[in-house]
Structure formats: structure tokens, C-alpha cells
Amino acid sequence: MEKLNAGIIGCGNISSIYFKNCRNFQSVDIVACADLDMERAQAKAEEFNVKAYTVEEMLEDSSISIIINLTVPAAHGQVALEALEAGKHVYTEKPLAISLEEGKEVLESAKSKGLRVGGAPDTFLGGGIQTGIKLIQDGWIGKPIAANAFFMSNGVEEWHPNPDFFYQTGGGPMFDMGPYYITALVSLIGSVKRVTGSANISFPERETPEGRKFPVEVPTHISGVLDFENGAVGTLVTSFDSWGNNLPRIEVYGEHGTLGIPDPNTFGGPVKYRRKGEIEFMDVPLTHSYRMNSRGIGLADMAEAIQENRQHRANVDLTYHVLEIMHGFHIASEHGKHYHLTSEVQRQKLLEMMKKF
């Protein structure tokens, strides 16, 4: 299999794990990087022995097939559209775009041009969640009838050097962490047909440890309800307003048992199972690989899928469906009614071991 050349746009901290991990896969080779800050691009290029480009040079290089879009979330949609216009496939960090309209434009542009768009999170391809999917498919809990998922924290201003973005448009706990939880739920149970929710800005102002205050522009506590196509009902709470909790990350309840799903921001376990009639959960050995930090596996699967002419798993239908669900919670809260999804996803096969060197 001949590797597809890829280039990274956006040389922030997360770019390093893509450079490192993608060296382990046979389907893709990162050969260049670009950033609005040319010094930062040159530093990454020197560190990982690739070419440093301007964004324009990257898009003009015909040898590069895939753009890895690691820009700030507000730029995700525009960079993706520019890359598609240049005839390149795109793999983007989460979310697909900030606005629903721009996300739809990316989806439609990719399909009209016959190009691939994929995106993070790809943690659902890790051993933990893939094991959960397999157990559900194998009937361990029977038909899924409900699910709960919780991300609870007190925000980021006490530790993050630049916390302002997390409280501006495109931020908040839903758009920052929601993609991990929603992607996991959809992968485990299937498409969502409608959502409702309540969202609140609990504190209109935040303060750093140094005493700098800044305004909050987006909801920081969102409680949502998801109605899945298969009839299951889910609950998702994301919050920057909690000083502690004892809640599970994700649990899926079925006719015959319950599954405890690991933190969807990780790739490993544990996966826990309690059968009907039993009183304790048991740990289930993971059935799938990629249990450590495997960010970039979705990209590698997309590159392999392009070469094999099959659908990739972390595809644009999934990333757009997740984006629509997140917006749906906020729209439902604002208008006081259910939001009905216009998108859906097709279930993908479980991930096999990727081809390596």
C-alpha cells in the first residue's frame, strides 16, 4: 500500500501527537506543516523533519492529498472549505465547524467534489469503546433502552494559561467536551432523531488565579435528552459549574444488563458489565487494540479507506451529526421545544488492527 501524503495546518500543541502517532501507520505520511505563525511552523518542521509551508503553499502542493486541520475551532470550517476547493481530502480536529450552516457547507462540498472529510474525536475507535460496541452487538445487554453520560468539571480558568476562548462562541463544555461523549453514544447506540435541553450561564463572569476577570458568553451547564432512532432515551450533562461529583462517565442500559463505558476522551478501559440478576459489576477484558493515546487513528483509517474505496469510520456524516446534536441542545433550550435532527449516520464495522510498517 502506497502511503498518502498529508500536511498539517495549525502547529499548536496537539500537532505533536499527530506527527508521532502517524509514523506508526502504513496508510499516511505527514510530510509538511503550516501555520499563520511561520516561526511556529518552522519549529515543528525542524522537530519532526518535514517541510514548513505557508497555508497557501500547502494548498498548492499537488503531492499532498490530505489536509490535517488543527487550527482553532473558529477556523475549522473555513480551512476545510479552502482545502476541499483545492481538491484535497480533509481530516479536522473537533468540532467540524462552529456554526451548523458552515458544517453543512463542508459536508455538501465534500460530497459534491467526491472528496473525503473526517474528523476527531477518534477515541471511539480505541479498545475501550470498540469493546463496548462489540458487547452490545453480541447481545450482552439485549436491546439498549437508555443511556446516561456526564462531563462535570469546574471549568479551565484555574489551570489553563488562556481560558477566555472556552467561554466564548464555539466554547463551553458542550462544544469542548461534548463531541467525545456524543460520538461515543452514537457509536454505541446509533443515530439520534430528536433532542431537547436546558442550558444556562451559571456565572456571568470568571476569574483566573491572578485575579483577571473575563465575561462568559456561552452556556456553562447544559442538560440534554436524546431520543435515538432505535427507541433508546439518553441523558447528557456537560458542565463547567461543578466542584465535584461521583457520576459515571457513560452507562448504557439494556433489557438484560448494564455496560459501564470508559472516559470517551481516552482510548482504553475499563469496560464494566452487570448482568440482570447480579449485584456487582465485573471488568470485561478489552477485545480490541489501541488502548493508549492513539490520536490520528481516524486519519489513518480514512487514508486506508481512500485507497480501498470504502467508507471511513470517523466520517463527515458522523462529525456533522454530532455537531447538529450539540446545536440542537442549545436551540431547544432557547426556543423551549424539541429539535428534530435532519442528519443520520450509518453504523460502521468494528475497527480491525491498522496496517503498520
**Structural domains for the chain:** 4-119 (3.40.50.720), 124-288+324-340 (3.30.360.10)
CB 18 within 8 Å of CB 299: yes
Q: How far is CA 149 from CA 146, 214, 263, 307, in A?
A: 10, 29, 10, 36
Q: How far is the CA of 190 from the CAs of 94, 178, 179, 235, in angstroms?
A: 20, 16, 15, 14
Q: How far apart are CA 192 and CA 178, in angstroms?
A: 15
Q: How confident is the model at residue 356 (pLDDT cuts 50, 70, 90)?
A: very low
pLDDT digits (tens, 9 = 90+) for 289-340: 999 999 999 999 999 999 999 999 999 999 999 999 999 999 999 999 999 9
Tell whether pTM > 0.75: yes
Residue 232's pLDDT is what? 98
Mean pLDDT of 105-113: 98
246 DSSP assignment: -
pLDDT exceeds 50 at position 354: no
